[in-house]
Amino acid sequence: MPGYEHLEHWTAEQILRWAIETYGERLAFVTSFQNTGMVILDMASKISRSIRVITLDTGRLPEETHKMADIVRERYGFRVETVFPDAAEVEAMVRAYGQNLFYKSKALRELCCEVRKVRPLERKLRHFEAWVTGLRRSQGASRAALRKVEQVDGRVKISPLADWSREAVEAYLREHSVPQHPLYALGYTSIGCAPCTRPVLEGEPERAGRWWWEQDSVKECGIHVSPSGRIRRDIDVALEAVLRAANA
């Protein structure tokens, strides 16, 4: 995008320093404490200890993720701001479709992600001008065209590790002794909600463990890549019903 093209040639450290100096308190570091997020937090800690760290608590996270939040607080001194879904929306969704609705159809899985992740983060990000993510192009086809810095929905989205490989991330973690999420040691390569994530098998893509029951190459919750077409319309119908019930 015009205005940010030159940043494509910058290192991750250079981009983070630019982002922190440019946006300050208006910059959110959004993370679920996976390896890429931990690399970014470690790099950022060398620039500033007063960054704003945002994490989502969907209500279905593995306990190990909560432990990682405590580790980040203790090691870096960051104040971690936890974002929760709207309780009335979750209650209405579960009442209508059940606690484990995500196994029933892709549309209902997207609805669960919308209520528990997408909508809460959107509400939080209204208070920020820019946000940092740990996305990488090598994570899958849906992220292959990712830019390091781009304007998305009126806000600057910053992905300092866009051109990093998985091996580069792991090398940084080792070199700097960065804490890692315990589930990586059990064969996980991408970590989300507990019921929706499993370890990957040998030879599987990095995000194969996310929503593994779906026969679809697009493994996204909707925060970074929005669904489209029939599934999007199905979600809209279900979401409208949930919001009506939540606001009744």
Question: Model confidence over 193-231: pLDDT tens digits?
Answer: 999 999 999 989 888 899 999 886 565 665 655 544 444
Buried b (16+ CB within 10 A) or exposed e, 119-149: bbbeebbeebebbbbbbbbbbbeebeebbbb
Give residue 220's pLDDT: 62
Give residue 118's pLDDT: 94
pTM equals 0.86
**Any idea which residues carry the catalytic annotation?**
221
| Cβ-Cβ contacts under 8 Å for 84 (sequence gap 6 or more) | 56, 57, 59, 120
**Cβ proximity of 26 and 33 under 8 Å:** no
CB neighbourhood size of 1 (10 A): 11
Average pLDDT in the chain:
90
Instruction: Please report the domains of the chain, with CATH numbers, ordered by start residue.
Output: 5-247 (3.40.50.620)
pLDDT above 70 covers a percentage of the chain that reads: 90
The Cα–Cα gap between 45 and 25 comes to: 15
Give residue 73's pLDDT: 97
Per-residue pLDDT of the chain (248 residues; tens, 9 = 90+): 457 989 999 999 999 999 999 999 999 999 999 999 999 999 999 999 999 999 999 999 999 999 999 999 999 999 999 999 999 999 999 999 999 999 999 889 999 999 999 999 999 999 999 999 999 987 767 677 789 999 988 999 999 999 999 999 999 999 999 999 999 999 999 999 999 999 999 989 888 899 999 886 565 665 655 544 444 556 677 788 788 878 87
